[in-house]
Amino acid sequence: MSLKYLLDENVNPVYKVQLRQKRRDLVIWAVGSEPTTPSMGTLDPEILLWCEEYDFVLVTNNRTSMPVHLVDHITAGHHVPGIFLLNPKLSIGQNIDELILIAEGSFNNEYQDQIVNLPLSYSLPSELI
């Protein structure tokens, strides 16, 4: 498994706990919870720089400003391993299953400089996306 996840500070902490319970080999850190991660309250552009430096995919529910921050980040000549947007219409368990599936089946740089909306593994009716 090559993907490493950084959970945004607004992502429910249960994601980290349950992901670690289901996949002990998955590297899953959260903003403000590890000594080297960005602290709580760090601005999104700085989080993207951290993700680039440490090669972590950002997991967030920030659908509003994150696309703008990503464009600014790329325009400045930077890259990011990827950004995964949790789907609020999926259960926590479904979002977690998606994150595990993606980590298990991804190849290097597959999601570089992209925002990916969950789910990937199955189709949902359009009103749930």
Q: Is 101 helix (H, G, I), strand (E, B) or coil?
A: helix
Q: What pLDDT, in 10s, does the model give residues 71-107?
A: 999 999 999 999 999 999 999 999 999 999 999 989 8
As a 3-state breakdown, the chain gives helix, strand, coil percent values, each rounded to 5, of 35, 15, 50
Domain spans in the chain, listed from the N-terminal domain onward: 4-120
Single pTM value for the model: 0.91
Residue 115 DSSP one-character state: E
Q: What is the C-alpha separation between 26 and 22, in angstroms, rounded?
A: 9
pLDDT bracket for residue 123 (50, 70, 90): low
Q: What is the C-alpha separation between 53 and 111, in angstroms, rounded?
A: 16
